[in-house]
Structure 1
Amino acid sequence: MSHYEERLSLDLEAIRSELRNVGEQVQAGLDDAIRALQAHDRKLASETILGDMSINRAIRRIDRLCHAFVARHLPSAGHLRFISSVLRVNVALERVGDYAVKISRETVQLSASPPASVARHVEQMSHHAQNLLSHAIEAFHEGNAEMARGAKSVSGSRDSTFSLVFRDLLRVGEGSDRPLKDLLSLIVIFNAIERVGDQAKNICEETIFVATGETKGPKVYDVLFVDERNDCATQLAAAFAHKVFPGSGRYTTAGWGAAPSVDPGCLDFMEQHGLGAPQEAPAALDPSHAALARYDVIVALEPGMRDQIKELPFTTVLLEWDMEKTSVEERYKEICHRVRALMETLRGEGAD
Structure 2
Amino acid sequence: MSHYEERLERDLSLIKQQATLLAKRVDAALAAAVRALLSGDDKLAYATVLGDQRINAENRKLDKMCHAFIGVHLPSAGHLRLMTAMIHANVALERVGDYAVTIARESVHLAKRPDALIKREVELLAGESRQMFKQAMCGFIDGNAEKARATMIMADQVERTFDVVFADLVNEGGNFSIEDLFAYLGVFNSLERVSDQAKNICEETVFAVTGQTKAAKAFRILFLDEDNTLLGPIAETVAGKIASGGGEFRSLGRQAGAMLPEVVGLLQESGVDLARHRPKAMNLSLQDLADFHVIVSLQGPVKSYVDNVPFHTAALEWDVGGVVAAELPEDQRRERYAALSREIAVQVSNLMTTLRGEEAD
Same fold at TM > 0.5: yes
Where does residue 253 of structure 2 map in the other structure? 255
Q: Does 1:281 align with 2:285?
A: no
String of CA shifts for 1:3-33, please: whole Å, max 9, x gaps: 4323322332232122122111111111211
2:185 maps to amino acid: I
Q: Does 1:348 align with 2:348?
A: no
Alignment of 1:29-48 (within 5 A): 29-48=29-48
Q: 1:89 to 1:241 in 2, by over 3 A?
A: same
Alignment of 1:265-344 (within 5 A): 265=263, 267-278=264-275, 280-286=277-283, 288-325=285-322, 327-344=336-353
Where does residue 328 of structure 2 map in the other structure? none
Q: State which drifts further: 23-32 or 252-261.
A: 252-261
Alignment of 1:181-200 (within 5 A): 181-200=179-198
Alignment of 1:204-215 (within 5 A): 204-215=202-213
- % same residue: 41
Q: Normalising to structure 1: TM-score of the pair?
A: 0.91
Where does residue 119 of structure 1 map in the other structure? 119
The alignment's C-alpha RMSD in Å is 2.2
String of CA shifts for 1:116-169, please: whole Å, max 9, x gaps: 221111222212222221222122111122332333334442344334433443
Q: 1:158 to 1:262 in 2, by over 3 A?
A: farther
Where does residue 27 of structure 2 map in the other structure? 27
8 Å Cα contact 1:230/1:262 also seen in 2: no
Structure 1 Cα separation of the partners of residues 116 and 285 of structure 2 = 28
8 Å Cα contact 2:36/2:45 also seen in 1: yes
The runs of at least 4 consecutive aligned structure 1 residues that moved more than 6 Å come to none
2:127 maps to amino acid: H
Structure 2 Cα separation of the partners of residues 72 and 137 of structure 1 = 26
8 Å Cα contact 2:218/2:247 also seen in 1: yes
8 Å Cα contact 1:262/1:282 also seen in 2: no
Structure 1 Cα separation of the partners of residues 256 and 217 of structure 2 = 30
Q: State which drifts further: 337-346 or 299-308.
A: 299-308
CA positional deviation for 1:75: 2.1
Structure 1 Cα separation of the partners of residues 230 and 260 of structure 2 = 6
8 Å Cα contact 2:38/2:119 also seen in 1: yes
Q: Normalising to structure 2: TM-score of the pair?
A: 0.88
8 Å Cα contact 2:267/2:337 also seen in 1: no
1:346 maps to amino acid: L
Where does residue 135 of structure 1 map in the other structure? 135
Task: Report SS of the residue matched to 2:220.
Answer: strand
8 Å Cα contact 1:133/1:196 also seen in 2: yes
Q: State which drifts further: 150-159 or 325-334.
A: 150-159
Where does residue 331 of structure 2 map in the other structure? none
Q: State which drifts further: 14-23 or 101-110.
A: 14-23
2:229 maps to amino acid: D
Q: Which runs of 5+ in 1 are unaligned?
A: none
Q: 1:173 to 1:253 in 2, by over 3 A?
A: closer
Where does residue 15 of structure 1 map in the other structure? 15
Where does residue 230 of structure 1 map in the other structure? 228
2:135 maps to amino acid: H
Q: Which runs of 5+ in 2 are unaligned?
A: 325-335
CA positional deviation for 1:336: 1.7
